[in-house]
Amino acid sequence: MKTKRGQKLCKKCNAINGVRAYNCKECDEPFEMKNGRKKKQQIITDHMILKKGDRIRVVGGSGPYYLSNDTKKYMTKRGEYIVSEVSHDGIDVHGGSLYNAGHSFLYMGKVKQSSLIDGLKCSPHKIILLNNVSPHLRRT
């Protein structure tokens, strides 16, 4: 099969993917990258494995959002955070960078309509576990 410009073919399942894809969108097979980049990091599905002090990244386009005129406005900034506490329905975090300073709660429950505001959907965040923080940077 011939691909167009900006596309590449998966060797395992012959699916057409974007040229910048790290993994196949159909079979999740990692591509060999010419520039030596690492393969795509896996999104954590069970947030209960996290511990205090773990460093995580919130993926953009996830978490609670406000729906206005078919446009989603997400309530949480993407970026790095440090876990403070883990509960059954979410994660209490503090900012891991100047961009994300302060404390936040990352909702990890099931999708539901907010009981407080019409148009606000409580949706779980997509998070990626990064390497752990050095002990001297952990907050107690």
What are 91-108's pLDDT values in tens digits? 999 986 666 678 889 999
Q: How far is CA 92 from CA 4, 25, 72, 120, in A?
A: 45, 32, 23, 20
The mean of the pLDDT values for the chain is: 83
pLDDT at 36: 63
What does the domain layout of the chain look like in residue ranges? 1-40, 47-137
Q: Is the Cβ–Cβ distance between 115 and 96 less than 8 Å? A: no
Phi, psi of 135 (to 5 degrees): -55, -35
26 vs 89 pLDDT, higher one: 89
103's enclosing H/E stretch is strand 103-107
**64-99 tens-digit pLDDT:** 999 888 888 998 888 889 999 999 999 999 986 666
Cβ burial of 8 (10 Å; 0-12, 13-18, 19+) is middle
Between CA 18 and CA 59 the distance in angstroms is: 19
Output the DSSP codes for 58-77: EPSS-S-EEEETTEEEESS-
